[in-house]
Structure 1
Amino acid sequence: MKLQYRNSFVLMSLFLFDSPSPAENDVSGVLGKFLLQAKTATDEKIIESFNALGELRQRSVIVYFASSGETNLVKKLLATGLSIDCSSRGLTPLNAAAIAGRLDMVKMLLGGGASTELRDQEQDTPLKNAAREGHLDIVKALIKHGADVNAYGKSFTTPYTSASYSGHKRVMEVLEAAGANVFHQQKMLA
């Protein structure tokens, strides 16, 4: 799946699945209006609108803007008190930014204390997702902040094997230099 389509899928899943009722699934609903306003509104208005959303929708908005690379906006929204490790549909802001290749966002979130080990719905870490996508600088940043280079998720693949399957040789080299087990055998389900 191409990155632009993955980001669209993430956005749509946040809109559709985090809404408490079918009537609120319409993109022109509360979240859609917030996203439209955020492009032109003052910071104060954005924060006011954000605070009115409720925590479930706030998490969706944070994850969406993390994947979009809106670093300054995410900083301001997190300053309202929402956890930097909040998740929406199993996706944290750090994982969303790692998948999308948003290095500045990843650095900001890591600097703010985001956990490198929180996993998405597939039990994949931000490092594994960044390795799979070939985001070398993000892989380096996550390793620098202590990400487990041998963590594996539901598919029993590690960041190294994910990079290997995707053909990201330079990422594999960086992971190996950081201590990744290059002889990891994919565990078979019984």
Structure 2
Amino acid sequence: MKSLIHKKERLYFTLAIITSIFAYILLGLTVVGILIFAALMAAMLFFHALMMAQIRTNAVKLSPAQFPEMNEIVNELCVRMEMPKVPDVYVMESSGVLNAFATRFFGRNMVVLYSEVFELSKKDGQEELTFVIAHELAHLKRRHITKQMLIFPVLCVPFASEAYSRACEYTCDRMAAHYTDNAEAAINGLTVLAVGKSLYKDVNRQEYLQHSSEERGFFAWLAEKLSTHPTLPKRIYEIQKVRGDAVTGLFRASKKAAFVGVIGLVLITALTYGAYRYTDQVADVMANAIIGIAGETDITIAAANGDAEQLQSLIDAGSDVNYQDGDGWTALMYSVNGNRPDLMKMLLEAGADPNIAENTYEDTALTMSLNHDTTDAVELLVQHDAVVNLQDSYGITPLMIAALSGRADMVQVLMGLGADPGLQDNDGRTAHMFASDEGHEEVAKLLK
């Protein structure tokens, strides 16, 4: 199960628990601090218990006599997920809202499904509903509710608690897709949450993800950082990424947006304090800061914009060709993503390292090139020292990604360049297994 846990969940929880321990110590130094903490905890537990009691006395509980088919699915999922006890599962009227959540009530685990979601069981959407249930069971298996109680002081800190919560959501999506063994239903289930249970099958998924990835800027960045859940397109993309068929290059975070976001928050505070005296001066500072950030002086921005002249100028001026932006993207990655072999060659000849991995999905320039229609970029990168058998933290190699995607041409080229079909990922799977599982018979034959 460890490979299913999002790497940032462990990191954020460790930081949160350390911070919380210090907060508990500080609160415990004074009687007033202890009383304040006790009062807050008591109030929170009281209102939570009151809400759960209302649900338990009004909602419909799944049982062998109540929605028996879905009750059996819940039991089967709990067995697969090695959960010692089946939680109480309730269905409640939701006034059209699509949602579900996991919680606890005096030591008893609960899953609450809104009726709008549960109706999928009657609309040929049972597999999608199964994913939603498995996602909530994953929260219980990972004890996210209990952990949130332990890091209560951090929950009051903007950005910090939301970051941990988003990482937990990624983990539960992965676990649900794994234990249901149906990534397609997982993606459909998330699409249901976006457009509803009647329209989700008509959504052009790639267009949906592409459009969302193009929504950038300060407010888009701030909205995401203040949210407890990642955006639905990002969650879909993460499942595609784990499955191995994601289109690389989507959802690269804008360095400008993040930087402008931080600067913007600082400036808002400053403006609130001194606007009555320094309105004009502060406005000028803000404008100059934003203009400076937006200026195309960064080598990664030049590559992302496909500006060959600017890129060459920066290289000649001694810019670091292996500079990584906030998401770990290099100029070479941007040139691969933009399918610009001229820029790729320019950077590689200037010393760009094709084996650097970006931060979010551990993509390298080589794995990004697997989405191209031709194999030219792959060959160019390997000629310039791209490691064809490089494995990420999950043990995934470029050959496995090509096999999973059914790209016989890429598989042939990679093997011709020295890719080892015998390598295994962390779960013991080979490229041949990936191809066979996805029904890519031609690719599977090449890998025997």
Same fold by TM-score, threshold 0.5 exceeded? yes
Can you list the C-alpha shifts for 1:37-91, whole angstroms capped at 9, x where unaligned?
xxxxxxxxxxxxx3xxxxxxx3xxx213213322221111233332011110201
- Paired with 1:135 and 1:15, the residues of 2 have a C-alpha distance of 32
CA RMSD in angstroms comes to 3.0
Q: Is the 8 A contact 2:256 2:294 kept in 1?
A: no
**Alignment of structure 1 residues 98-177 onto 2, 5 Å:** 98-121=336-359, 122-177=361-416
Please give the secondary structure, in 2, of the residue aligned with 1:18: helix
In structure 2, relative to structure 1, the CA distance for the partners of 1:138 and 1:75 (3 Å cut) is: same
Q: Which has the higher helix share?
A: 2
Of 274, 290, 296, 1:29 maps to 290
Amino acid at match of 1:119: A
Between Structure 1 and Structure 2, whose CA radius of gyration is higher? 2
Q: Is the 8 A contact 1:94 1:109 kept in 2?
A: yes
- Paired with 2:294 and 2:254, the residues of 1 have a C-alpha distance of 17
Amino acid at match of 2:352: A
Q: Which residue of the partner structure matches residue 71 of structure 1?
A: 308
Q: Which residue of the partner structure matches residue 255 of structure 2?
A: 14
Q: Is the 8 A contact 2:315 2:350 kept in 1?
A: no
- Paired with 2:394 and 2:338, the residues of 1 have a C-alpha distance of 21
In structure 2, relative to structure 1, the CA distance for the partners of 1:31 and 1:167 (3 Å cut) is: farther
Q: Is the 8 A contact 1:15 1:31 kept in 2?
A: no
Structure 2 residue ranges without an equivalent (≥5): 1-205, 214-248, 268-285, 429-448
Q: Is the 8 A contact 1:132 1:159 kept in 2?
A: no
1:185 aligns with 2:424: yes
In structure 2, relative to structure 1, the CA distance for the partners of 1:129 and 1:154 (3 Å cut) is: farther
The total of aligned residue pairs comes to 163
Amino acid at match of 1:22: G
The two structures have a TM-score, normalised by structure 1, of 0.71
Q: Which residue of the partner structure matches residue 82 of structure 1?
A: 319
Q: Is the 8 A contact 1:123 1:152 kept in 2?
A: no
Q: Which has the higher strand share?
A: 2
Report the alpha carbon displacement of residue 138 of structure 1 after superposing the two structures with TM: 0.8
Report the alpha carbon displacement of residue 131 of structure 1 after superposing the two structures with TM: 1.8
Q: Which residue of the partner structure matches residue 47 of structure 1?
A: none
Report the alpha carbon displacement of residue 13 of structure 1 after superposing the two structures with TM: 1.8
- Highest RCO, 1 vs 2 (Cα 8 Å, sep ≥ 6): 1
- Paired with 2:292 and 2:374, the residues of 1 have a C-alpha distance of 29
- Paired with 2:403 and 2:301, the residues of 1 have a C-alpha distance of 28
Q: Which residue of the partner structure matches residue 330 of structure 2?
A: 92
- Paired with 1:98 and 1:17, the residues of 2 have a C-alpha distance of 23
Q: Is the 8 A contact 1:99 1:129 kept in 2?
A: yes
The two structures have a TM-score, normalised by structure 2, of 0.33
